[in-house]
Amino acid sequence: MRPAADDPDMTDDCVFCAIVAGDIPARTVYETDEVLAFLDANPLARGHTLVIPKGHAQHVGDLDPERSRALFDAVSTLTPRVQAAVNADAATVGINDGEAAGQEVPHVHVHLIPRFEGDGGGPIHAVAGDAPTLSEDELDGIAAAIAE
């Protein structure tokens, strides 16, 4: 199931590619041909899990549709499983996509972070900086640029 060490998609210096190749140990919790999930080595909560595509890609936008589907299928399968395993009340599911967003490992990974009532954390709305004040025209322009 694991890609061969000479898989052209793999990068030599990527820690998550090394986990996929079996060169670095990990607490694997789920594996398919396309996807691997394992416990985060520095958990933000009990059960903090990372879900990755096996093939190397830095950004979500680099994933082809097949790999995107496989990744999100795994996320939707695993989120309730992870929650149940640690008796969590909820989960935060997120991707740091790019350095400015806090991405430290340049291999796409989805964080599944179990959440507990009163755990002191915040919603995903807390991760961005100061919220901008945007006019209707600016909002129209942004929507058009995305839709283009």
Q: Which residues bind ligand AMP (CB under 6 A)?
A: 15, 24, 26, 40-42, 50, 96, 102-105
Q: By three-state DSSP, how is residue 99 classified?
A: helix
Nearest distance, CB of residue 140 and ligand AMP, angstroms: 33
DSSP string, 19-80: HHHTSS---EEEE-SSEEEEE-SS-SSTT-EEEEESS--SSGGGS-HHHHHHHHHHHHHHHH
Q: Answer yes or no: are the C-beta atoms of 67 and 34 closer than 8 Å.
A: yes
Nearest distance, CB of residue 58 and ligand AMP, angstroms: 10
Choose, from 56, 59, 109, 125, the residue flagged as catalytic. 109
Q: Answer yes or no: are the C-beta atoms of 37 and 78 closer than 8 Å.
A: yes
Residue closer to ligand AMP (CB basis): 77 or 103: 103
Catalytic: 48? no
Residue closer to ligand AMP (CB basis): 20 or 50: 50
Residue closer to ligand AMP (CB basis): 45 or 70: 45
Nearest distance, CB of residue 99 and ligand AMP, angstroms: 9
Catalytic positions are: 109
